[in-house]
Amino acid sequence: MNDKILFNNLLEENKLIKISDKIYLSAYQIKILKKYQIPYETCNSINEIIFYIEDILNEYGNDFEDLENISIALAEIDYYSNYNK
């Protein structure tokens, strides 16, 4: 693959998609959430998505690195979006 194709794939993977007024997810995050059947479309907040992720991680262990990374990223987004500094 050439650099232009790799760059375009990276852009597509990281493009933010509006889920609701409060939730924007990247195409990659949506792909992983779908993989684990997390109902992100019906969630009212990022915290609710994180709850579903943590429930899976607590039940089945922390062997799901992709899911764990999304949980961390969403927690950071939530922190910087919703808390005064």
Contact predicate 56/38, CB 8 Å: yes
Predicted TM-score (pTM) of this structure: 0.83
DSSP state of 40: G
* pLDDT, tens digit, 9 for 90 and up, residues 32-52: 999 999 999 999 999 999 999
**pLDDT bracket for residue 61 (50, 70, 90):** confident
Domains held by the chain: number: 1
Residues 24, 18 contacting (CB under 8 angstroms): yes
Q: For residue 54, what are the domain limits?
A: 3-82
